[in-house]
Amino acid sequence: MKIGKCFISLLFICLVTGNINAGGLVPHAIYGQILLPDEITRADTSNLLLDAFVIDRPDEIITESTGGCRINTNGSYVVECSAFPTLAPGDIVQVEIYDWDFNLLSIVQVELGGTGTDRIEISLFSDDSPKLLDEDFEPQELLKPELQDTDLESR
């Protein structure tokens, strides 16, 4: 009987302490369509790259080649956030889309909810967008004002 109680107590302790650090193991997907600037037409995704990171932890980067993450040929994308080492509801994930020359094409930010999935459409910048033509453009300008102090260059 004592062995059974010890085993149950040990199992309970493992479960409780394991959940503290298991945030990255909980499945959470960000998904949607990658659209042209008209926000209607699906983009040709054959030459696109994807990076994603939690704003508070910019060194934890996942890409389209990370397990569970992908850009599909039908214009859709999936970011499986459980690939991040740590994760918690309320974390803000920034998803960036690039072409193969690493030109930034779009940035979106998603605050993770508690449902396990977040859907967001990504619209690519237009060719005549001042954000692409302005030599002084900084990706920081696209961030929410309270996040503009985040250092993207350190990634």
Q: Is residue 7 part of a domain?
A: no
Are the C-beta atoms of residues 141 and 125 closer than 8 Å to each other?
A: no
pLDDT at position 130, please?
40
Residue 115: band (very low, low, confident or very high) from pLDDT cuts 50, 70, 90: confident
- Give the range of the structural domain holding residue 71, as residue numbers without chain letter: 25-143
DSSP secondary structure letters along 15-29: HHHHHHH-GGGS--E
Number of domains in the chain: 1
Q: Is residue 153 part of a domain?
A: no
Q: Name 128's Cβ contacts closer than 8 Å, sequence gap at least 6.
A: none
Q: Is residue 2 part of a domain?
A: no
Q: Which of 3-7, 11-15, 67-71, 149-153 has the highest mean pLDDT?
A: 67-71
pLDDT in tens, 9-62: 544 444 444 433 344 556 899 999 999 999 999 999 999 999 999 999 999 999
Kindly report the CATH number assigned to the domain that includes residue 78.
2.60.40.1110
- pTM beyond cutoff 0.85: no
Q: Is residue 150 part of a domain?
A: no
pLDDT of 81 over the 90 cut: yes
Q: Is residue 20 part of a domain?
A: no
Q: Is residue 18 part of a domain?
A: no
pLDDT at position 139, please?
52
